[in-house]
Every structure is written in C-alpha cells, then in structure tokens.
Amino acid sequence: MTDKAGEWSRTGGGAVDVDVDLGRGRIVTDIADGAAAADLTPLIGLSVASGFRKAAKGCLAPHDQGSVIARLLDDVPVATVISGYALTRELSAEQQRRLGGRGALARADYCAGFAAGGTMMTGVARDGAPPLVNGPQAPDLVRVGAGWHPMSELRPGSMRRIRRIDVSVGDDAELSVDAMFRDTYVNAAGIETVVHEYGTDVLVDSRTLTVQRLTVTPRVLPWPECPGAVAGAQRLVGRKVTEIERLVGSDFHGVGSCTHLNDLLRSLGDVSPLAVLLPGLDNSSAHV
C-alpha cells in the first residue's frame, strides 16, 4: 500500500515451495506453504496438468480462498508449463522427443499459439519439438521503479514468472488497474530474456466492481499467431471482476484464447480484495 505521501507499507504476503517431476506426468513430489498456514500435503502425488487448482482450493479454509496463497497455488500449473521452454533450450531434440514433444500435436487449436498449421505446430510436426525462440533481453524492472521488491539472481537454465497488479482510485470513484506478467529465461551466458509478456489497463466501477474498459497489450510473445487472443478479452467488459475467474475458466478456450493471457485476466479477480484496502473509498460492495 502506498499512501498519498508516497510512503509504503506491506499489507500481506506468502510463499509456496513446490517440487514437480516433469518426467512422470508433472506430478507434485513435495509442496509446502512457507507460512505453514495451510496443509498442502494432500496435493502430493497429484498432477499439476489436471485438477490441481480444484484440489488446491480444497486445501484452503473459506477465508483463504481469495488470499495471496490461493493466487500462488493458482499459478503452479502454468509455471510448470512455462518451464518447458527451458527444456527446449537445455535438451537435445532427441531428448525432447523422448519426453513426448509430439504430444503437442494432440492439442492442436488449444490456444492461439497452438493453432493448427501455425508456426509452433508446424515445427513440432516436422521436428518433434517446437522451433527455437530467442526473446529480447529483459529490462531490469527493479531499477526502473515499477514497484518490484528485490529478486534473487537466476542461474543459467532457469525461468521466472513475475506478476504485478496495481489498483488505485481514479476520477468519479473509478478504480484504475494496471496489471502485467512476464516470463523470462536465463541463457548459458547469464542473460535474462523475455519469453512472454502481456500488460493490461483496466477501468473498474468501484461501486459495482464492473469492468468499464479493458486494454490488453501483447509485449513479447513467442509465435506470430499468439496476438490473435487479444480481441477475445473484450468479452469481460461489463462483467464484475468477481466473475472473471469463473468466466475465463469456462469460456476462454480455443484459438481465440491464450493460456498465459487467461492467467493474467483471471488474476483481475484480485481487484476485489485490493480495493477493500484502499483508504477513502466506499468499500461496501468491494467484496460482493
């Protein structure tokens, strides 16, 4: 929270440590809530590829469903998915084929990047693995003052997903929302490069929590077909932020969607608990 004088204070936090075995169907081998606030051991042995989010919700108390820990658990499946990019850089094509690279063909038209006949799917069909993508070097977000806490340095061969959502009060009691995420990979030379990055600019009515305007900006994406998912986000205009997670989960599929954009859009549900914390705002409906 940053007050009008520019002074900031921490209102909450959380951490989850998860070990996932990619070679055995993305099975969770160990998991723990860093604050020891929730028993997550029932998730051990589950695959993050199917049913993980539902099971994770079942491990949390009702008052924790919209918490930081809930959002972190929600990110585990896609964080595991993006780790596959590191494998395309670290493993040989033959090793990738043994891990089931051609399994991607069965997911044709799953999202914009998986469009049948598109760049990625054509490469998988031809070589058994996606084409090699080299993203741009990642700017230092901490130095540019974009609201980040200090982060540890990644070793070569590692990946990171960072996410930010800022909510502030604008004119006429409207909520101005600035949200983004970035996935990065550190190559053998120690250079951090961007794999995915989206930004969103959203205007929300603080009284009804209804989305008034939503702009999605694709900044870095691996395949030329990926931006085809942007237009579909306009379906959320006129809907309450408290509905977005359910709507995206049920309706945003196929070549008009993007797995990573979906995760960013779903996180807009966090506008509700953040709005409750804003001083000088009528928060009577902020968690409805």
Does 55 score more than 60 pLDDT? Answer: yes
pLDDT tens figures, 127-146:
777 788 889 999 877 654 45
Least confident of 22-26, 158-162, 191-195: 22-26
pLDDT tens figures, 149-186:
778 888 998 999 998 899 998 777 799 999 999 999 99
| Predicted confidence band of residue 6 (pLDDT cuts 50, 70, 90) | confident
Does 67 score more than 50 pLDDT? Answer: yes
Model pTM score: 0.85
Beta strands in 155-243 (DSSP E): 159-169, 174-186, 192-205, 210-220
Rounded CA gap, 159 and 187, in Å?
9
Closest CA to 177 of 284, 259, 66, 272: 272
Rounded CA gap, 90 and 137, in Å?
18
Report the percentage of the chain scoring pLDDT > 70.
Answer: 89
Q: Is the dihedral of CA 194, 223, 271, 288 positive or negative?
A: negative
How do 16-21 and 159-169 pair as beta strands?
unpaired
Overall residue count recorded for the chain in this entry: 288
- What integer is the mean pLDDT of 42-56? 92
Instruction: Please report the pLDDT score of residue 142 as a whole number.
Output: 61
Does 102 score more than 50 pLDDT? Answer: no
- What integer is the mean pLDDT of 233-259? 93
Instruction: Please report the pLDDT score of residue 92 as a whole number.
Output: 65
Cβ burial of 102 (10 Å; 0-12, 13-18, 19+) is middle
Give the C-alpha distances (Å, rounded to integers) separating 94 from 85, 88, 98, 159: 15, 11, 6, 22
Does 286 score more than 70 pLDDT? Answer: no
H/E run at residue 28:
strand 27-33
Instruction: Please report the pLDDT score of residue 22 as a whole number.
Output: 82
Instruction: Please report the pLDDT score of residue 76 as a whole number.
Output: 92
Mean pLDDT of the chain: 85
| Predicted confidence band of residue 36 (pLDDT cuts 50, 70, 90) | low
pLDDT tens figures, 225-241:
999 999 999 999 999 99
**Residues 265, 233: contact at Cβ < 8 Å?**
yes
Q: For residue 237, give every residue at least 6 positions away whose Cβ sits within 8 Å of its Cβ, in sequence order, or none.
A: 211, 212, 213, 214
Residue written as token pair 């009804």: 208
Partner residues linked to 268 by β-bridges: none
